[in-house]
Amino acid sequence: MRIGIIGTGYVGLVTSCVLSNYHNVTCYDIDKEKIENLSNGKCIIYENGLEDLLNKNLNKSLFFIDNIEKLVTENNVIFICVGTPQGENGSADLQYVYQVSRSIGQFINKRKVIVDKSTVPVGTAKRVKSIINEELLNRKIEIPFDVVSNPEFLKEGSAVNDLLNADRIIVGIDSVDASEAMSILYYPLLEENHNIKYLETTVESAELIKYASNAFLATKISFINEIAMLAEKVGANILDVAKGMGLDKRIGNKFLNAGCGYGGSCFPKDVKALIQTANENGINLSVVQAAQDVNQNIRANVVEKICSKIDVKDKTIAVWGLAFKPETDDTRESPAIYIIKELVKHGATINAYDPQGMENFKWNVVEYMNNIRYCKNEYECVADADCLIIITDWNIFKEADMGLVKLKMKNNILFDLRNIFAKNKEIRREFEYYGIGV
């Protein structure tokens, strides 16, 4: 199959590298520098296994070009993988999806399947179809084509593995031709891994499955974070509570880790966009709204708790972890942004360290750059610190020599916002320890 992928961001690049194991894949991006780097085998994002895959298939079954006309005309399945940032009122900003659709309409030369992989609200596939039709009308020609919704469920940090070992592939189709094309496309992957479930739905259902899944997971996190607050008050331990709940197969033990709230480029944005879509349709999604509110409050509660235990004014606070989760350099909507800003506003000086996220983090807090020192490693970070806050649960923090950490710190206060040491009796004895819900 000849597959064309428009957009080499996170989703586009992972999808193209994985699909090039089975098909001939060509990628296009408006950013010429990106295309140049990728053509030379340089991966532009940090993602486990991605660069290896890129170099394995590059110039054999995987190609990068900067000509969208060539991409559209020479391939029979075209994936739209461009960004859908948050718009002004919380809804998804679809301008890039629409621009790409227009280009497809301008250059389409024979029957094709257009696959929407970008995260887009219900109804977008219909709009993509009508934009392409508008362009065909301008060109005064008729060419049959299908628009399919095939949302992605990749997690940053394990994206390649998530696609190769997906729980499910969701394909929203409205024609037999599209159904056939998509099953041929995914056939080799499904043959290789019989655990992957393949589900065909209508286009609208596929679009909604994506948002509903992210909103449900976000709700699960907010739920456990709220129960953690109660656990702390009544003397229960949230780790045991979550474990006990998770043993019920209907609940499951995943996404029940209490912490300082969800971040990243997906949950916050998708939850907002789903609420907005519901509002536009006269539906009040109060559970999803509550999940969003709790996530905001949790960060404020954490800062309040820190400030109630230590007067941070003129103190040096060490922060371990700036990325929104481990194994990524992504700091978008990371809880670290809010927490660090608030502590600086309260007069603290921050020593920060993250194994991957420091460069990206700097851009979120430029106005406070004089109050934040970026450190070479986790030990330099804690030198003479009055308190240590763990925000991201990287393995290197779990494996740190905490005896050395205590020696280097001025004071021994430890806020473990991911509960990585909550079961470690020695650390809880050696430090003035505060976890979440423990």
In the complex, the smallest distance separating the C-beta of residue 392 from ligand UGA, rounded to whole angstroms, is: 8
Q: How far is CA 154 from CA 146, 167, 391, in A?
A: 24, 10, 23
Among 214, 219, 295, 364, binds ligand UGA (CB under 6 A): 214
Is 72 or 228 the residue whose CB approaches ligand UGA more closely?
228
Check residue 263 for interaction with ligand UGA (CB under 6 A): yes
Check residue 47 for interaction with ligand UGA (CB under 6 A): no
Give dist(CA 92, CA 53) in Å, integer: 31
Q: Determine the size of the site formed for ligand UGA (CB under 6 A).
A: 21
Of the residues 260, 266, 375, 381, only one is catalytic, namely 266
Check residue 267 for interaction with ligand UGA (CB under 6 A): yes
Is 221 or 294 the residue whose CB approaches ligand UGA more closely?
221
Give dist(CA 337, CA 361) in Å, integer: 8
In the complex, the smallest distance separating the C-beta of residue 225 from ligand UGA, rounded to whole angstroms, is: 7
Is 132 or 298 the residue whose CB approaches ligand UGA more closely?
298
Among 19, 154, 206, 336, binds ligand UGA (CB under 6 A): 154
Check residue 416 for interaction with ligand UGA (CB under 6 A): no
In the complex, the smallest distance separating the C-beta of residue 267 from ligand UGA, rounded to whole angstroms, is: 5
Pick out residues in 321-340 that bind ligand UGA (CB under 6 A): 324-325
Check residue 223 for interaction with ligand UGA (CB under 6 A): no
The reply to whether 266 belongs to the active site is: yes
Among 153, 368, 379, 433, binds ligand UGA (CB under 6 A): 153
Among 62, 147, 206, 221, binds ligand UGA (CB under 6 A): 221
Give the DSSP letter string of 367-419.
GGGGGEEE-SSHHHHHTT-SEEEE-S--HHHHTS-HHHHHHH-SS-EEEETT-
Pick out residues in 269-298 that bind ligand UGA (CB under 6 A): 270
Check residue 156 for interaction with ligand UGA (CB under 6 A): yes
* Burial status of residue 33 (CB atoms within 10 A of its CB: 0-12, 13-18, 19 or more): exposed
Check residue 155 for interaction with ligand UGA (CB under 6 A): yes
Is 83 or 310 the residue whose CB approaches ligand UGA more closely?
83
DSSP class of residue 329?
A: -
For residue 288, the one-letter residue type is: V
Task: Tell me how far apart the terminal alpha carbons of the chain are, to the nearest angstrom.
Answer: 53
Pick out residues in 103-122 that bind ligand UGA (CB under 6 A): 119
Give the DSSP letter string of 205-265.
HHHHHHHHHHHHHHHHHHHHHHHHHHHHHHT--HHHHHHHHHTSTTT-STT---SS---SS
Tokens encoding 150: 């095939």
CA 381 to centroid of chain Cα atoms = 27
Check residue 257 for interaction with ligand UGA (CB under 6 A): yes
Check residue 390 for interaction with ligand UGA (CB under 6 A): no
Q: Measured over all CA atoms, what is the biggest interatomic distance in the chain, rounded to whole angstroms?
A: 77
Is 217 or 420 the residue whose CB approaches ligand UGA more closely?
217
Phi and psi for 353 in degrees, rounded to 5?
-145, 135
Residues β-bridged to residue 115? 79, 148
Is 324 or 421 the residue whose CB approaches ligand UGA more closely?
324
Provide the 3-class DSSP secondary structure of residue 268: helix
Among 108, 256, 303, 388, binds ligand UGA (CB under 6 A): 256
- Residues of this chain that bind ligand UGA (CB under 6 A): 119, 152-156, 214, 217, 221, 255-257, 259, 262-264, 266-267, 270, 324-325
Catalytic residues: 266
